[in-house]
Structure 1
Amino acid sequence: MALRPQVVDRSLAAVIGVGGSIEAVAGSHGSRVWLGIAASTILAVPLAWRRVAPLLPVLVLAGVFVAVIEASGEIPTSAAMFVAWLTASYSVAAFGDLRLALAGLAVSTVLPVVAVLMGALDEDDLRPGDFAIAVVPWAAGRAIRSHRAQSDRLAEATRTLEAEREDHARTAVALERARVARDVHDVVAHTVSAIAVQADAAAAALPVDPEAASQRLERIQAAAAAAVDDLRTVVGGLRQNDTVARPQPGLQDLDALVDAARESGLEVDVTVTVDRLSDGRALAVYRIVQEALTNVRRHANATHAWIEVSRSGHGVHVQVCDDGVGCDGSRVGHGLTGIRERAEAYGGRLEVEAVGGGTRLVAVLPERAP
């Protein structure tokens, strides 16, 4: 388990302080022993907070450096001073911003010049290595800080991408659920409404015309079987291991849809001037017409419906009108919601209005989604 940074810093400070004190006792005598102990202790203390106050160790180092020269007339050459100098120069670069880092570099680098000015070091003895003790660890600290910042940026970018991926996954799941809900509703609502109409007709015909009633029951059976097939297609699309391409209804299936509506007693006129559409748009047109006819049979109390599928400069127009009681779309159920979602999925729109004694539904699907 990694040690906490505070533990590392305080341990480092303790080692420098204790080690410098031992060095002073072993290598000095008289008053210089206490000077060495004091210098080592003072140098060590700010290193315990080098991450939160990175400039402080450099400033204390400079103060101790000048104080030792003033007291002894010599440059401090203890191991504690050397290690503290390296550590302070590195820390101000690694943990301080650029302003603090440059200030720390200036203070740390100028100390050999201060020693010359105070007479503790001959100018001829000044060497590049005297400055390297400050510059090299400072450069290493800046490099590590830059690498750490880049790693943090990459980690943040990774977290952002992961969050976006999760959002996209949730959106995809929600869209798929909405699509399945639309498909199931379209299949079930259309078939159940057709079965209900045929069942009413069969019940009415049974006492007077058993043969006609039998025909109605056969149509109910056929409609139920078709609904089962459609539901299998919808459910089969949810299986990840289902690699068989299942045909989807399109423009070519509108005639069968209209025939089923006519068999339920609704008079339907159809005009289709569009010959080819993409599979997705063709399916959307089919489902829109299917749900519109379902609404006509279930809610409009209509006897006649008009269907027109055409193409204009704005895209594909699907218009369904009836002569029923009229509806302006203010009462929105799952059916109209599904139609609107299908249109909007292709960048289109839906308009529903009461016209005369009936309802006009217009869905527009652009040729290309925006």
Structure 2
Amino acid sequence: MTVRTNRRVPFRLPPVLDIGIAIGVAIFVAIGTFFAAELQHPQREPDTLGIALVVLTALSLAWRRRAPQLVLAACVGLLAGYLLLGYPYGPIQLCMVFAMFELARQRPARVSLRSCAAALVGVTAALAASRLLIEGTVPATLLAVWTAWLIIPWSVGALVHVTRSARIREQRELVARAALEERMRMAREVHDVAGHGFSAVAMQAGVALLVFDEQPDQTRRSLEAIKETSATALTELRTMLSSFPHGQSEEVAPQGLDDIDALARGVRAGGLDVRLSVPDIDLPEDIGRAAYRIAQEALTNALRHAGPATAEVTVRLADEVLVVEVRDNGVGAPRLQPGRGLAGMRERVAALGGSISTWSPPEGGFIVSAKLPLGGGEK
């Protein structure tokens, strides 16, 4: 059997700052009421009851941020009683203005509009009744000015609410977009590292199995290449994971042009002949990393799809643009269906303001050519 207990929410005082503001408003409104009475001829002069209503109305504003609807209701009730008792118009009406503004600022427009409209009707009815009791008539101009005067705080508060909501929504969209871009970047990095590593290991293992009995030396070289490729892929994964807050604390230099030679050795061990033309160039870190990843993905695709072939990696500078070209003379791909690897290369190049082209010449083979402007990176 489930026993339900009614838990009461404990009463909590508002923040000290709000209490101080409410006390200041109460003092100002109480003093202002006496000055307002001097300028009018009210049916009833401010007395203890009138000042008590004024002070209570002002003090209720201390809860305006914690319970704006209750505060507005309290202001309406106290102000209506104040007017019906024949006290002079005065600063007490500013309390309702503040309450309406705060409700419109915190709540959606459809909610605040209903509450403020009900409050406006109630106070306007109290004003009309007080005028009828005192003067026997209700000037239409007074009601129109009174209504317009109370609509203004709701309009300003609703505008503030809409602006703040739009800003918060924009911030959330930026955070979501940044998270999506980070996930895409991580997926691209994992594909580049794992895709190349697994492809090279699979090819090298196939070679080792093929010549296991007849060529033990080649088997040893293939196993050594598997070990080197696995260690390199593991190091790259650790480097990538170190970018997370709870990742590895040790820093590993990212790959660049200097690492393409080791990359080519691993691919050769997998059975694809690779020729290099890579000059010694001092490049921004992200440009060098992108050049390495392009060569890695292109050689991985050649290793998997080109068949018996030779691949050539060429890197050169042309008018402050780094050109990375990888071509092979394999079977080619006349009906290319781009996968995640080629898409990742295009995204990586586009992020640096460059361009990339991939095609299969009529005579066979496949070419990947990327252009990376040096101004797109940072040293």
TM-score tier, shorter chain, comes to: 0.5 to 0.7
Confirm or deny that 1:258 pairs with 2:269.
no
* Conservation of the 8 A alpha-carbon contact between 1:351 and 1:362: yes
Alpha carbons of structure 1 residues 307 and 212: separation in structure 2 relative to 1, 3 Å: closer
Confirm or deny that 1:51 pairs with 2:120.
yes
Alpha carbons of structure 1 residues 154 and 282: separation in structure 2 relative to 1, 3 Å: farther
Which residue of the other structure, out of 296, 313, 326, is the alignment partner of 1:290?
Answer: 296
* Conservation of the 8 A alpha-carbon contact between 2:314 and 2:326: yes
Confirm or deny that 1:269 pairs with 2:275.
yes
* Conservation of the 8 A alpha-carbon contact between 1:274 and 1:311: no
Q: Aligned runs of 1:73-88 on 2, under 5 Å?
A: none
The corresponding residue for 1:3 is 70
Q: Displacement of 1:154 after TM fit?
A: 4.1
* Conservation of the 8 A alpha-carbon contact between 2:196 and 2:297: yes
Alpha carbons of structure 1 residues 241 and 324: separation in structure 2 relative to 1, 3 Å: closer
Confirm or deny that 1:359 pairs with 2:358.
no
Distance 2:200 2:185 in 1: 23
The corresponding residue for 1:33 is none
Distance 2:354 2:206 in 1: 37
Alpha carbons of structure 1 residues 222 and 186: separation in structure 2 relative to 1, 3 Å: same
* Conservation of the 8 A alpha-carbon contact between 1:50 and 1:91: no
The corresponding residue for 2:313 is 307
Confirm or deny that 1:350 pairs with 2:356.
yes
* Conservation of the 8 A alpha-carbon contact between 1:316 and 1:364: yes
CA RMSD of aligned residues (A): 3.8
Q: Provide TM-score, normalisation by structure 1.
A: 0.64
**3-state DSSP class of the match of 1:368?**
helix
Distance 2:215 2:330 in 1: 29
Q: Aligned runs of 1:189-208 on 2, under 5 Å?
A: 189-208=195-214
The corresponding residue for 1:93 is 149
User: Could you report, residue by residue, the CA deviation over 1:72-121 in whole angstroms, capped at 9, with x for unpaired residues?
Assistant: xxxx569x989x9988754432316xxxxxxxxxxxxxxxxxxxxxxxxx
* Conservation of the 8 A alpha-carbon contact between 1:329 and 1:353: no
* Conservation of the 8 A alpha-carbon contact between 1:50 and 1:56: no
Amino acid at match of 1:359: F
Q: Displacement of 1:302 after TM fit?
A: 4.3
Q: Displacement of 1:230 after TM fit?
A: 1.7
**3-state DSSP class of the match of 1:364?**
strand
User: Could you report, residue by residue, the CA deviation over 1:210-263 in whole angstroms, capped at 9, with x for unpaired residues?
Assistant: 233123212212222222222222222223465543211111111111122222
Amino acid at match of 1:288: I
Q: Aligned runs of 1:163-174 on 2, under 5 Å?
A: 163-174=169-180
Q: Displacement of 1:157 after TM fit?
A: 3.2
Q: Displacement of 1:274 after TM fit?
A: 6.4
Amino acid at match of 1:335: G
Structure 2, unaligned runs of 5 or more: 1-66, 87-116
The corresponding residue for 1:233 is 239
Deviates more, 1:285-294 or 1:236-245: 236-245
Structure 1, unaligned runs of 5 or more: 21-47, 69-75, 97-144
Identity of aligned residues (%): 30
User: Could you report, residue by residue, the CA deviation over 1:160-218 in whole angstroms, capped at 9, with x for unpaired residues?
Assistant: 22222211211221111111111111111112221122112211221212233123212
Amino acid at match of 1:331: Q
Q: Displacement of 1:49 after TM fit?
A: 6.3
* Conservation of the 8 A alpha-carbon contact between 2:80 and 2:126: no
**3-state DSSP class of the match of 1:177?**
helix
Distance 2:248 2:156 in 1: 45
User: Could you report, residue by residue, the CA deviation over 1:1-60 in whole angstroms, capped at 9, with x for unpaired residues?
Assistant: 54385786577557755x46xxxxxxxxxxxxxxxxxxxxxxxxxxx96736999999x7
Distance 2:123 2:335 in 1: 69
* Conservation of the 8 A alpha-carbon contact between 2:221 and 2:269: no
Distance 2:242 2:144 in 1: 68
Which residue of the other structure, out of 324, 341, 351, is the alignment partner of 1:335?
Answer: 341
The corresponding residue for 2:95 is none
Q: Matched residue pairs, number?
A: 279
* Conservation of the 8 A alpha-carbon contact between 1:50 and 1:92: no
Distance 1:223 1:95 in 2: 73
Distance 1:253 1:244 in 2: 19
Which residue of the other structure, out of 177, 192, 213, is the alignment partner of 2:183?
Answer: 177
User: Could you report, residue by residue, the CA deviation over 1:239-293 in whole angstroms, capped at 9, with x for unpaired residues?
Assistant: 3465543211111111111122222232222223461221111111101100100
Greater C-alpha Rg: 1
Q: Displacement of 1:150 after TM fit?
A: 5.1
**3-state DSSP class of the match of 2:332?**
coil
**3-state DSSP class of the match of 2:227?**
helix
Distance 1:52 1:314 in 2: 72
Deviates more, 1:269-278 or 1:150-159: 150-159
Distance 2:298 2:72 in 1: 69
Alpha carbons of structure 1 residues 219 and 162: separation in structure 2 relative to 1, 3 Å: same
Q: Displacement of 1:352 after TM fit?
A: 1.1
**3-state DSSP class of the match of 1:208?**
coil
**3-state DSSP class of the match of 2:282?**
coil
Q: Displacement of 1:342 after TM fit?
A: 0.8
Alpha carbons of structure 1 residues 332 and 292: separation in structure 2 relative to 1, 3 Å: same
Q: Displacement of 1:159 after TM fit?
A: 2.4
**3-state DSSP class of the match of 2:370?**
strand
